[in-house]
Amino acid sequence: MTATIIDGKAFAAMVRAQVAEHVARLKAEHGLTPGLAVVLVGEDPASEVYVRSKGKQTVEAGMASFEHKLPADTSEQELLSLVEKLNADPEVHGILVQLPLPSHLNSDLIINAIDPAKDVDGFHISNVGLLGTGQKSMVPCTPLGCLMLLRDHLGSLSGLNAVVVGRSNIVGKPMAQLLLGDSCTVTIAHSRTKDLPEVCRRADILVAAVGRPEMVKGDWVKPGATVIDVGINRIALGDKTKLVGDVDFASAVTVAGAITPVPGGVGPMTIACLLANTLTACCRANGLPEPTGLTA
Ligand code: NDP
């Protein structure tokens, strides 16, 4: 058996097109332009690439992009002042502070200073609590992207056994909450889980968010399961490097019913969902109906 390859790149393009269409309508009918502010502190090359890509896709979707690049030695007070300014700016509907922050800055303090209604990353403690209690919230982009791919591929997720490997606040935990919200029976596995292969083999939906290259092998996968690989790992391949996921694609593709590739699976969904969240935030801020299919 060879699994269906879930094309996250194509799906993300569809989400972005849907966002752009809604943004154009907001402009024409209400004179509104959703705005996303991205704050980058320091010069981490990977973060710079990611922030550039966010800015480009924001503008392509017809939204306003505000980039704030601050030096690595920015003080907590300076960063908090900027967040306060963005909270008060009516042209800014979404605020994203790029993580990781330099170590002298308290990420929790900064993230929790963002207005929860503008917290398009969904990391503010209020949004975490709202998601955990099944209330309307801002949903973290990567797990939201995974949920969209799963719903598109499987339709209803109700009653399915889902195993999420990884319990980070950014991916694992919100992913598990979303799957629970869609009535899956959810197991969260982590580095202390006993007999991880056996736990994974129970999954109809297997989400790997670990950060360990090709850890999940084909014989950990239940035949016909849907496998979502969140991992992004760069490994050496001769004198070059190659991007691989947390799942050993070559062996898993022969067992799974469907699988996301790396690259081209979950990765492109993250920025698409960031744009979707910014649009949602703009609609909520203005008391307008939210776009359908772009939230949890
Ligand atoms: P974290 O390092 O924050 O969390 C990793 C999790 O994996 C932890 O809960 C850890 O368990 C668990 N883990 C580590 N080793 C093992 C093991 N041997 N067996 C079982 N569980 C293990 O990573 P993130 O959640 O931030 O990211 C996970 C992956 O997803 C990374 O590859 C990252 O690059 C990628 N990513 C991709 C995104 C995208 O846009 N596609 C966005 C965000 C992340 P414990 O808690 O016990 O230590």
Is 101 domain-assigned?
yes
> Domain check: are 109 and 171 in the same one?
no
pLDDT at 180: 98
> Domain check: are 188 and 264 in the same one?
yes
Is 275 domain-assigned?
no
Counting from 1 in the atom list of ligand 1, the atom nearest the Cα of 215 is: 18
Q: Residue 219 has what DSSP assignment?
A: G
Is 289 domain-assigned?
no
Identify the domain containing residue 106 by its residue range. Answer: 29-120
Ligand 1, pocket residues at CB < 6 Å: 142, 165-168, 170-172, 189-193, 196, 209-212, 230-233, 246, 266-267, 270
Rounded distance from Cα 289 to ligand 1 centre (Å)? 35
238: alpha, beta or left? (left if phi > 0; alpha if psi -120 to 50): left
> Domain check: are 147 and 115 in the same one?
no
Rounded distance from Cα 209 to ligand 1 centre (Å)? 5
Helix (H, G, I), strand (E, B) or coil at 39: strand
> Domain check: are 111 and 152 in the same one?
no
Counting from 1 in the atom list of ligand 1, the atom nearest the Cα of 245 is: 32
Rounded distance from Cα 231 to ligand 1 centre (Å)? 7
Is 39 domain-assigned?
yes
pLDDT at 273: 98
Rounded distance from Cα 246 to ligand 1 centre (Å)? 9
pLDDT at 25: 97
Counting from 1 in the atom list of ligand 1, the atom nearest the Cα of 211 is: 32
Rounded distance from Cα 78 to ligand 1 centre (Å)? 31
Is 129 domain-assigned?
no
Question: Vertex 155, ends 295 and 249: CA angle to 5°?
Answer: 95
Domain of 41, CATH number, reads 3.40.50.10860
Q: Which of 190, 234, 274 to mutate to test the pocket of ligand 1 (most atoms within 8 A of CB)?
A: 190
Domain of 146, CATH number, reads 3.40.50.720
Counting from 1 in the atom list of ligand 1, the atom nearest the Cα of 172 is: 25
Whose Cα sits closest to atom 8 in ligand 1? Answer: 166
> Domain check: are 258 and 169 in the same one?
yes
Q: Among 290, 282, 296, 291, which Cα is nearest to 90's?
A: 282
Q: How many domains does the chain have?
A: 2
> Domain check: are 262 and 159 in the same one?
yes
Spell out the residues 6+ positions from residue 82 whose beta carbon is closer than 8 angstroms to its own: 39, 68, 70
Specify the pTM: 0.98
> Domain check: are 182 and 248 in the same one?
yes
Is 293 domain-assigned?
no
pLDDT at 243: 95
Q: Which of 164, 167, 170, 171 to mutate to test the pocket of ligand 1 (most atoms within 8 A of CB)?
A: 171
Is 3 domain-assigned?
no
pLDDT at 6: 98
> Domain check: are 187 and 254 in the same one?
yes
- Where the chain has pLDDT below 50, the residues are none
List helix spans (H) across 133-185: 141-154, 172-181
81: alpha, beta or left? (left if phi > 0; alpha if psi -120 to 50): alpha
> Domain check: are 261 and 216 in the same one?
yes
> Domain check: are 204 and 256 in the same one?
yes
> Domain check: are 169 and 246 in the same one?
yes
> Domain check: are 94 and 59 in the same one?
yes
Catalytic residue annotation: 54, 98, 121
Is 227 domain-assigned?
yes
